[in-house]
A and B are shown apart, each in its own frame.
Chain A
Amino acid sequence: MAVIEGALVYSNLLALLSIGLTITYITTGVPNFAQGTMAVFGSYVSLTLWLLFGVHPYHTIPVSFILGGILGIAIYTVVLRPMIQKEAMIVILMIATLAVDLILLGALGAYSETLGVISGKGTRKFIFTPMDFKILGADAILVISSLAILMLLFTLFLLLYKTKFGIALRASMENPALAEIMGVNVEYTRIFSWFLSGSLAAVAGTLLPFRQEIVPATGAIIIVSIFAASIVGGLSSIYGALAGGYIIGMSESMVTFYLSKVIGPYILVYSKVISLIVLIIALIVAPSGIAGLEIWRKRVWRKSSSS
């Protein structure tokens, strides 16, 4: 795959992930460190359907979407919501998501062993690249990941600006206490945001093996880039997260590629360092991220936020 194409695919997927992370951060105030492993969950959903039923991974996207969404809701309602209701501090919530990440990682590890036994194939590492094909001369993954982003943006736009539920969602993001006063059941909007975040992560996970090899621990590595992208985006707007995804995705891929030419291929191992350097530079230039360039203030949760 050509370098630019690869970088674009990676950025598309990163944008899906950072948009999901940002949405749940805005609505529930949780910095979700399990987002990367939630993506790998999607990779395994697709792998399973491929190995056991011969379904091409691209056709598994809807299943991945739904199961990922259910996983998102489960993580929120079972683990995080009870803590939030007891007004847990953000550090506690963060550590809770790390715990969720470890549990998921363990579960995926055990599952991949079992799947290997059932299917009689090695599943500890896998890649879908050999199954990819060409659409109009381009790798299908480039077309499909770009379409995924475009469809997401289009649907989100329609949802957020043209439907009543979407307006309620934006209202709850800005001022949950006031939304509640207006008769919006804010809890629904929170559950919805975790569904969406989980399903976007799983879809990204279905597509990721077309670009790189997956192991259960892949999530723990890409989470660095997801956070970098979300923070560069300002953690407060969907468009910020989108831009952050491309800034981090492109620079991580391109810079490592050129460095590997100049210095040697061993530099590839350190590609996440590039994300972090870009993150630091971006924060020096725009301290509250891209979205911070616009005025934005809001506080999550506190019911009594209004005087």
Chain B
Amino acid sequence: MLRAEKLSAGYKELHILFEINANVERKKITTVVGPNGSGKSTFLKSIFGLTTIHSGRVIYNDKDVTLTPPHERTKMGIAYLPQVDNVFTNLTVEENLKIAGYTLDNGEYKDRKDLALDVFPELEYRMNQKAGTLSGGERQFLAIATALIRRAELLMLDEPTAMLSPKFANTIFDKILELKDRLGLTILLVEQNVKKALEISDNAYLLISGRVAFEGKAEELLDHEKFEQLCIGI
């Protein structure tokens, strides 16, 4: 569904990613792990068009989207949830959902909203509350719900469980699995919670210093003889 071909990217002259080849399969969960600063967030941002691309291409559904502006990619079904600041804190939950449906007509927005609230019924009671007053976990729910409303087919999540209690983190992992199984979404996940993330994943990439150090099935990476060793840096 999505391919990065020899993608080198960074911020202005700064080079962070080097010739990344990656393939995100349809209706699968693909997880990217790696030490802090290895370029995981930069990878997601590059796929969404928020960085400087030095060379290489991003192919989405057989179309070259390397130069497509971010708001156009949203319309094409790519949703990206940043690691921080992924909801509008001054807007209410309801307004956040509405903005997420910015490009939809009213009828469709209603359907998508019902679907999102079906997956995250917790939000129903908080519609008129400002997003800034939600708990960390509820905020992640809202962020993912906005992606659902955006008619996302490919959902890119940057550390959705960061700073959450283990219990809430597990709830998030369950929801991610539900999104794949029930709604048939394709998910590209970046996680620090490596073990948990790989357990629900199909495919995995290990990124070290902006290069792909491992690619394959998630369980292969879990069983990898060097896995513990690889984890030391993580």
Whether, in the assembled complex, A181 has its beta carbon less than 8 Å from a beta carbon of chain B, the answer is yes
Tell me the bound Cα distance from A307 to B16 in angstroms.
14
Q: Mark B58-83, 1 if CB is under 8 A from A, else 0.
A: 00000000000011001100011011
Where the two chains meet, the residues of A that have a C-beta atom closer than 8 Å to any C-beta of B are 164, 167-168, 170-171, 174-175, 177-186, 303-307
Cβ A182 vs Cβ B74 within 8 A: yes
Residues of B within 8 A of A185 (CB): 71
User: Which among A174, A181, A183, A303 is the interface contact of B90 at CB below 8 angstroms?
Assistant: A174
Question: Could you mark each residue 1-21 of chain B with 1 if its beta carbon is under 8 Å from any beta carbon of chain A, else 0?
Answer: 000000000010000000000
- Tell whether A183 pairs with B82 under 8 Å between CB atoms, given A167-B91, A167-B98, A307-B41: no
Closest 6 CB pairs of A and B: A306-B82, A183-B74, A307-B83, A183-B103, A171-B99, A183-B71
A residues less than 8 Å from B150 (CB atoms)? 182-183
B88 within 8 A of A: yes
Residue B95 lies at the interface, judged by CB distance under 8 Å to chain A: yes
Report whether B102 and A168 are in contact in the complex, using a CB–CB cutoff of 8 Å.
yes
Complex-state Cα separation, A179 to B98, whole angstroms: 12
Q: Does B232 contact A (CB under 8 A)?
A: no
**Cβ-defined partner of A179 (8 Å) among B75, B84, B95, B99:** B99
A182 and B84 contact, CB distance less than 8 A: no
Bound state CA distance, A305 and B85, in angstroms? Answer: 9
Q: How far is the CA of A160 from the CA of B212 in the complex (A)?
A: 46
Once A174-B91, A179-B99 are accepted as A-B contacts, the answer to whether A184 and B71 lie under 8 Å apart by CB is: yes
Shortest CB-to-CB span from A155 to chain B, Å, is 19
Q: Tell me whether A181 and B84 are in contact in the complex, defined as CB-CB below 8 angstroms, given that A167-B98, A171-B91, A307-B41 are known contacts.
A: no
Residues on the B chain within 8 Å of A182, using CB: 71, 74, 99-100, 102, 146, 150
Pull 5 A–B residue pairs with CB atoms less than 8 Å apart, ordered by A.
A164-B102, A170-B95, A178-B86, A304-B11, A305-B85
Q: CA of A164 to CA of B103 in the docked complex: distance in angstroms?
A: 10
Inside 8 A of B146's CB, which chain A residues have their CB?
182
Contacts A164-B102, A182-B74, A186-B71 supplied; 5 other A-B pairs, CB < 8 Å:
A167-B91, A174-B88, A175-B88, A181-B80, A304-B11
Are A164 and B86 interface neighbours, CB within 8 A? no
Interface contact tally, CB-CB below 8 A = 76
Closest Cβ neighbor of B87 among chain A residues:
A178
Specify which chain B residues have a CB less than 8 angstroms from the CB of A183 in the assembled complex. Answer: 71, 74-75, 102-103, 150
Interface segment, one of B45-53, B171-179, B199-207, B215-223: B45-53
Contacts of A175 in B (CB 8 A): 85, 88
CB < 8 Å: which of A164, A170, A180 contacts B70?
A180
In the docked arrangement, what's the CA distance between A180 and B79, Å?
Answer: 11
Asked if residues B48 and A167 are in contact (CB atoms below 8 Å), the reply is no
Do A178 and B71 contact each other (CB < 8 Å), given the known contacts A164-B98, A304-B11? Answer: no
A303 and B99 contacting across the interface, CB-CB below 8 Å: no
A179 to B80, CA, bound (A): 12
Which residue on chain A has the smallest CB distance to residue B109? A164
Residues of B within 8 A of A164 (CB): 98-99, 102
A179 CB to closest chain B CB (Å) equals 7
Residue of B with least CB distance to A307: B83
Please give, as numbers and ranges, the residues of chain B lying within 8 Å of A303 by CB-CB distance: 50
Q: Is A306 touching B86 in the complex (CB atoms < 8 A)?
A: yes
A30 to chain B, nearest CB (A): 21
Q: Are A307 and B50 in contact (CB under 8 A)?
A: no
In the assembled complex, B89 has its CB within 8 A of some CB on chain A: yes
Known: A181-B82, A307-B84. A170 touches B90 (CB 8 A): yes
Contacting A at CB under 8 A, from B89-131, are 89-91, 95, 98-100, 102-103
Q: Are B84 and A178 in contact (CB under 8 A)?
A: no
Question: In the complex, A95→B150 CA distance in Å?
Answer: 41
B89 proximity list for chain A (CB < 8 A): 174
- Taken together as a complex, chains A and B put the C-alpha atoms of A280 and B146 apart, in Å, by 43
* Given known A-B contacts A171-B91, A183-B75, A306 and B85 have beta carbons under 8 A apart: yes
Known: A167-B98, A182-B102. A304 touches B88 (CB 8 A): no
Bound form: Cα–Cα A171–B95 in Å: 9
Instruction: Quote the shortest CB–CB distance from A104 to chain B (angstroms).
Output: 33
A202 shortest CB reach to chain B, Å: 29
- A181–B88 touching, CB < 8 Å: no
Most chain B CB within a 10 A radius of its CB, from A170, A183, A304, A307: A183
B98 CB contacts on chain A under 8 angstroms: 164, 167
CB distance from A114 to the nearest CB of B (A): 44
Within 8 Å by CB of A307, from B71, B82, B95, B99, lies B82
Residues on B with C-beta less than 8 A from A186 are: 71
Task: Provide the bound-state CA to CA distance between A119 and B209, in Å.
Answer: 73
Q: Of residues 17 to 48 in B, which have CB atoms within 8 Å of A's CB atoms?
A: 41, 45, 48
